[in-house]
Amino acid sequence: MVQKTKTPRSAPKVVDVARLAGVSTATVSRVLNNPDKVSKDTREAVLAAVSETGYRVNRAARNLRTNSSRSILALVPNLSNPFFSNILSGLERALNAEDYNLLVTDSGDAPLSVDQMDRLIAAGQADGVIVLDGSISQSDFAQVQNNNPSCPMVFACEWVNDVDCPSVRADNMGGMANLVDHLWENGHRRFGHVMGPASNVLSTVRREGFVSRVRALGGEIRDDWIVPGDFSIDAGRVAAAAILAMTDAPTAWICASDQIAFGLISALNRAGVRVPEDVSVAGFDNIEMTEVFNPPLTTIHQPRNKMGHQAAMSILGLIRGQENSARIHILPVHLVSRKSTGPAPR
């Protein structure tokens, strides 16, 4: 007896989806490629038909047809810094929901150059770039934009002033004011600050926020109480040596990052200085280790996940012609009071 072989079932096609949804094949294509241009009811009907038929989009063919990679490149200055993890998580989730992939490149600790950015953009072959590194100069960034006119760009976290590019950032000035107010309410009147890198826009803005709020309250601040550094734990350790050498040091220190505060507190503790009994120390960012550090660190919480999500929406808005290229999104922050700050010593 000869057994008949079953004819394999052909893969569902766009026409099958269109027939089931009661729309044209052109409408199916619009839903799959430009869903924001289709009504909600139509979009839901088409997506339900896609699910029922098991239709799968040929991404490679679609990308060739539309001249789109469906990828967004993120330039991160230091991937080993835990600060960036939540931003990238927010970015990836938001982009994946819109059928885009996230490519991540470590741009390094040195200031970005025009050639370096051009190479990174060309290598990524992305539809857009999200820049988390504000180390490039204004003139160099303008040159990068001129060299890559078809590649929209958005700044996230850091930014470059006076360029035609959307940015998503935390309220850094407001965050520093919140820290000063918190310490002022605890009786502190002499304030010190450990900075991040001198050329970094976050360092500059946070220093400005710190100084302006201390002066507005009538607190005491001196030039030698503003200690240079970078955003690392080692910078905090180095700053501790300078602070321990001061004869009349502030009773409260606000650091430009949580990692600086970790290094500062560790070095002060080794020298026999108690935190917060002898001196209060606060950070900025609210990275994951702040809650379990000893003592738990008072800091400013940045909505890093939301920052990543908003940056994704901004770059997609530029790609779709919906985002204002000069728009600045400033996200609110809030104080997280923990055990590293307390009443000023008597």
Under 8 Å between Cβ of 130 and 104? no
Alpha-carbon distances of 297 from 174, 292, 329, rounded to whole Å: 19, 8, 27
Per-residue pLDDT at 64: 40
Per-residue pLDDT at 46: 83
pLDDT in tens, 277-292: 999 999 999 999 999 9
The alpha carbon of residue 19 and the mean position of all alpha carbons in its chain are separated, in whole angstroms, by 44
Which of the listed CATH numbers 2.40.30.10, 1.10.260.40, 3.40.718.10, 3.40.50.170 matches domain 14-57? 1.10.260.40
> Residue 333 carries which side chain, given as an amino acid letter?
V
> Beta strands 101-106 and 226-227: pairing type?
unpaired
Beta strand segments in the chain, E = 71-76, 101-106, 128-131, 153-156, 167-170, 191-194, 226-227, 252-255, 280-282, 299-301, 328-331, 334-336
Which of the listed CATH numbers 3.40.50.2300, 2.102.10.10, 3.10.129.10, 3.30.70.20 matches domain 172-302? 3.40.50.2300
Domain 69-170+304-331 and domain 172-302, same fold? Reply is yes
Under 8 Å between Cβ of 258 and 284? yes
pLDDT in tens, 167-221: 999 999 999 999 999 999 999 999 999 999 988 899 999 999 999 999 999 999 9
Distance CA 329, CA 15 (A): 42
Per-residue pLDDT at 226: 97
pTM (2 decimals)?
A: 0.78
Alpha-carbon distances of 161 from 7, 45, 125, rounded to whole Å: 64, 45, 26
Beta strand segments in 142-199, E = 153-156, 167-170, 191-194
Q: How many CA atoms lie within 13 A of 119 on its CB side?
A: 8
Per-residue pLDDT at 124: 63
Which of the listed CATH numbers 3.40.50.2300, 3.30.413.10, 1.10.10.60, 3.10.50.40 matches domain 69-170+304-331? 3.40.50.2300
Distance CA 104, CA 130 (A): 10
Distance CA 250, CA 47 (A): 62
Domain boundaries, the chain: 14-57, 69-170+304-331, 172-302
Instruction: Considering only the C-alpha atoms of the chain, give the largest distance between any 2 of them, rounded to a whole number of Å.
Output: 103
Q: Show the low-confidence residues of the chain (pLDDT under 50).
A: 1-2, 4, 6-7, 60-67
Per-residue pLDDT at 35: 67
Residue labelled with tokens 């997506």: 47
* Token pair for 336: 């997280």
